Amino acid sequence: MKAIVTGGAGFIGSHLVNALLEEQAEVVILDDLSASDSGNEAVPQDVKLYQFDVKSADAYRAVIEEEPDVVFHLAAQADVTKSILAPVYDADVNIGGTINMLEASRTAGVKKFIFASTSAVYGDVIKLPITEDDPVKPISFYGTSKLTAEYYIKLFHNMYQLPYTILRYGNVYGPGQRPKGEGGVVAVFTEKLKRKEPIMIHGDGSQSRDFIFVKDIVTANLKAMKADQIGIFHASTGTSTSILDLATCFKQLGASLDITFTSERAGDISHSCLCNKKAAAGLGWDPAIGIYEGIKRTWQLS
């Protein structure tokens, strides 16, 4: 089995690549390395790398040439704030790049297209936990571009019978995540607390997220690869943790907390919790790592 992982040198992608290699898959990475501080060093030995922009004709030709069985499309512009500052770039990467990979996958006869989506497609909903059938109403350009990419994926399936799985991720964290760019609050807190610097909380800290450890995200992708199911599934814990409770996890690990509160950020949602029962039933997947254990592993390996 051959797999192409777009964004395979990034945080989640690199974990997925290693897991695929353990599954004895032939893995090809398509990544422009813009999200990798270590460049080529993030690519395992003997894994072929195409260092191309996912929007490019070169990336399209790479998929055609490799003829993979499955494409994991993880490459993205994943920063909400950046999407607000540069909405054209955000759309070019997240919509244009996805269409480019869909066209290449259709032409190459790919058997499964697996897409990394986001809880940001729902916007600031009141109902918790959110199910896959709940209305989508993104409040950021990032959420809008990812949702639009989902529509294209479903249309490619309807028009060309390209099988797909869309995984809407919770807030992914874990070892190797950068505290900028693709990084979330866990990566930021980890870096600051390791340096014994104050941490900044936007708003009052009561806002909550469905934090999911990167290894669980990887197993969700592997389950999606092996399952015959087509559709949208939450890759989440089904549990909501506030930012203040998250900070408490670090305190329990011995970190000294010095917290500064600042204003809320535009485009940020207040609460997010994704029901994962559909993934359990349809993909046979359940997360295995709780928030404290995940923070502990991240802290120890950072």
- Quote the CA–CA distance of 265 and 271 in Å, as a whole number: 14
Q: Which residues contact 21 (CB under 8 A, 6 or more apart)?
A: 27, 44, 47
Q: Which of 142, 164, 169, 173 is catalytic?
A: 142
∠ CA 231-282-2 to the nearest 5 degrees? 70
Do 170 and 234 form a contact (C-beta atoms < 8 A)?
yes
DSSP letters, 92-143, are IIIIIHHHHHHHHHHHHT-SEEEEEEEGGGG-S-SSSSB-TTS----SSHHH
142 catalytically annotated: yes
Cα–Cα separations (whole angstroms), residue 24 to 2, 10, 20, 27, 108? 9, 21, 7, 9, 22
- Quote the CA–CA distance of 140 and 93 in Å, as a whole number: 15
Do 237 and 292 form a contact (C-beta atoms < 8 A)?
no
**What residue type is assigned to position 248 of the chain?**
T
* Catalytically active residues, by annotation: 142
